[in-house]
């Protein structure tokens, strides 16, 4: 569960680098938007759906707020990952205790600075034009790596990533839609800064 979620965060964070060939978010910029996630799982008649908002601040981290069906805030920074429910911390994973998280942050950090080797070291990347916008298909280089339990990732977008689909070997798949994205220079607000700084506590 946590590895699947971290992979989705990785794709969101690398999305701006992928979208502009090979531009990254400029220093001091913040990316805000909304997301809808659908998880198609064997044995369930309908997809499991969640939605919420996010803030990405390069160098500081990501604030990912699920609002429906349950309110859960997840924050990822160079120091690790923290989850809160109604202001109460429910999980803390420092990078020192989770090797996969360390590897993940190294990859996304490289992608955000335009270092394509960070991404291509883990995936074979095939890019296609898709009319208006672009389409990427990422295939894991190591199919037996337990940290990457996926068969393929398809990413579509224009200026930003708009849709991500993750196919898993067992037939399950995730679909993420990113909506109402805006790039600005305003720093994170007081509550967002508290969340980002709190990961290193």
pLDDT tens digits, one per residue of 170-199: 778 888 898 998 888 888 999 999 898 888
Q: What residue spans define the domains of the chain?
A: 2-198
Give the highest mean pLDDT range of 21-25, 89-93, 112-116, 159-163. Answer: 89-93
| pLDDT single digits (tens) 140-171 | 877 666 655 677 888 887 777 788 888 887 77
Task: Identify which of 9, 191, 183, 5 has the alpha carbon closest to the alpha carbon of residue 109.
Answer: 9
**Rounded Cα–Cα distance for residues 161 and 19 (Å):** 7
Any idea which fold 2-198 has? outer membrane lipoprotein receptor (LolB), chain A (2.50.20)
């Amino acid at each position: 569960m946590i590895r699947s979620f971290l992979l989705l965060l990785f794709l969101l964070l690398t999305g701006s680098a992928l979208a502009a060939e090979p531009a990254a978010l400029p220093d001091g910029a913040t990316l805000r938007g909304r997301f809808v996630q659908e998880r198609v799982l064997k044995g369930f008649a309908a997809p499991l759906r969640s939605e919420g908002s996010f803030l990405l601040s390069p160098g500081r981290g990501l604030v990912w707020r699920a609002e429906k069906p349950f309110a859960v805030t997840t924050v990822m920074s160079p120091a690790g990952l923290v989850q809160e429910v109604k202001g109460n911390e429910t999980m803390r994973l420092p990078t020192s205790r989770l090797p996969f998280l360390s590897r993940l942050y190294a990859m996304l950090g490289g992608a955000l600075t335009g270092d394509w080797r960070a991404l291509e070291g883990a995936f074979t990347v095939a890019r296609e034009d898709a009319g208006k916008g672009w389409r990427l298909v990422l295939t894991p280089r190591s199919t037996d790596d337990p940290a990457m339990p996926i068969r393929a990732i398809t990413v579509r977008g224009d200026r930003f990533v708009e849709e991500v689909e993750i196919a898993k070997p067992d037939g399950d798949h995730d679909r993420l839609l990113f909506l109402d994205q805006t790039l600005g220079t305003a720093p994170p607000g007081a509550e967002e800064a508290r969340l980002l700084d709190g990961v290193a506590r």
